[in-house]
Amino acid sequence: MAIKNILALVVLVSILGVSVAISFPNLDLNYYKSKCPDAEGIVRNVTEKFVVPQKSLAAALLRMHFHDCFVRGCDASLLLKSPTKNAERDAIPNLSVRGYEVVDAAKAALEEKCPGVVSCADVLSIVARDAVLVIGGPWWAVPLGRRDGRISRKSEANLPSPFADIATLKKNFTDKGLSVKDLVVLSGAHTIGISTCGLVNPRIYNFTANNGPDPAMNPSYVGELKKRCKPTDSSTTVDMDPGSVDKFDIDYFKAVAQRKGLFVSDSALLNDRQTSRYITTQLAFGGIFSTFNKDFAESMVKLGKLEVLTGNNGEIRAKCGSVN
């Protein structure tokens, strides 16, 4: 082939390549296959090292991914530190976010093997998946190729409220392109983890005009919560799925069905036909036909694709806490 033809071919291929990249900014399961083949193994090893001895970190890491993706997309904006405490991680819903050290350690291990290649946004997405696996949850293939954002603003850290009703929650999820099914499935993440009493107390001490608890709550559960959460104590923690807080299972749906959902937003899942039917279906026949693990995997992949930066957008951070 003449040099001219080869050049023409190169130009054509690169034009096609660019237009494909522009019109389909898709993530790719094999994104690091040639650039950093061990990427996922490296992240898994680090995640296991942290989560196996400290199971409660799994919940923290899963929640971290959710919070990152819901604000400015899955671009690791949550991980950026601000000297003036004005970044997402400084916002109230993030005060109880834990586990930054796991992501930092995984990123450091990657930088040693393949510097400047794997984004913090991808690291967080893989870490969340692996953390769920460690505590007996499902595994899913994580599409990769996200790039890291350069902006993180406290004022933008608007997350669904634990006091939200079902209409609000549905709107919050569908506004992001997630479905009502994703809402109930992903709420199932509350099968693991803890909450601080500060978010629980208004519901058990101060919900009605005459200082009664939320009537949607099981009275015996209110009693149990009151033993642990004293009215002026906002920092003590309670398990969201009592009895199996470190186990990824369908017990959260059991709790919600028994009106023992911890937050208004958990109980609210009983107030919609589609979400309540999902819960009933998962629990039928003792849960032996439950599709929760498979559904969760699918919804996590969707969550992980929210407003991602690809192509030439964003950057690959050297350190997850700061822009390059």
Catalytic residues: 67
CA-to-CA separations, 91 to 21, 38, 98, 152, 156, in angstroms, rounded: 34, 35, 13, 11, 9
The verdict on 171 binding ligand NAG (CB under 6 A) reads yes
Interface of this chain with ligand NAG, residues 200 to 229, rule: CB under 6 A: 205-206, 211
Tokens of 278: 């999902």
Nearest distance from C-beta of residue 162 to ligand HEM, angstroms: 4
Nearest to 63 by CA among 159, 165, 202, 199: 159
- Consult the annotation and say whether 241 binds a ligand: yes
Q: Which does 90 bind (CB under 5 to 8 A by kind): ligand NAG, ligand HEM, none?
A: ligand NAG
Nearest distance from C-beta of residue 97 to ligand NAG, angstroms: 6
Strand partners, 28: 144
Nearer to ligand HEM among residue 109 and residue 126 (C-beta):
126
Q: Which of 133, 189, 229, 279 binds ligand HEM (CB under 6 A)?
A: 189
The verdict on 158 binding ligand NAG (CB under 6 A) reads yes
Q: Which of 129, 190, 254, 260 binds ligand HEM (CB under 6 A)?
A: 190
Which stretches within 135-218 are classed as H helix?
166-174, 180-187, 201-205
- Consult the annotation and say whether 38 binds a ligand: no
CA dist 293 and 140 (Å) reads 10
Specify whether the CB–CB gap between 244 and 237 falls below 8 A.
no
CA dist 229 and 233 (Å) reads 6
Q: How many CB atoms lie within 10 A of CB 94?
A: 19
Q: Which does 189 bind (CB under 5 to 8 A by kind): ligand NAG, ligand HEM, none?
A: ligand HEM
Nearer to ligand NAG among residue 205 and residue 247 (C-beta):
205
Nearest to 158 by CA among 264, 84, 67, 268: 67
- Consult the annotation and say whether 160 binds a ligand: yes
Q: Which does 45 bind (CB under 5 to 8 A by kind): ligand NAG, ligand HEM, none?
A: ligand NAG
**Concatenated DSSP letters for 107-153?**
HHHHHHHSTTTS-HHHHHHHHHHHHHHHTT-------B--BB-S---
The verdict on 274 binding ligand HEM (CB under 6 A) reads no
Q: Which does 149 bind (CB under 5 to 8 A by kind): ligand HEM, ligand NAG, none?
A: none
Q: Which stretch binds ligand NAG (CB under 6 A): 55-63, 138-146, 165-173, 243-251?
A: 165-173
- Consult the annotation and say whether 77 binds a ligand: yes
Window 55-94: contact mask with ligand NAG (x via CB under 6 A)? ------------------------------x---xx---x
CA-to-CA separations, 219 to 70, 240, 259, in angstroms, rounded: 33, 16, 9
Strand partners, 319: 322
- Provide the strand spans (E) within 1-110: none
Tokens of 195: 């909450």
Residue partners of 224: CB distance under 8 A and separation at least 6: 242
The verdict on 106 binding ligand HEM (CB under 6 A) reads no
Helix, strand and coil percent figures for the chain, each rounded to 5: 55, 5, 45
The verdict on 33 binding ligand NAG (CB under 6 A) reads no
Nearer to ligand NAG among residue 172 and residue 282 (C-beta):
172
The verdict on 137 binding ligand HEM (CB under 6 A) reads no
Q: Which stretch binds ligand HEM (CB under 6 A): 10-18, 34-42, 114-122, 189-197?
A: 189-197
Cα 254 versus chain centre, distance: 22
Nearest distance from C-beta of residue 41 to ligand NAG, angstroms: 3
Residue least distant from ligand NAG (Cβ):
41
Q: Which of 42, 91, 199, 229 binds ligand HEM (CB under 6 A)?
A: 199
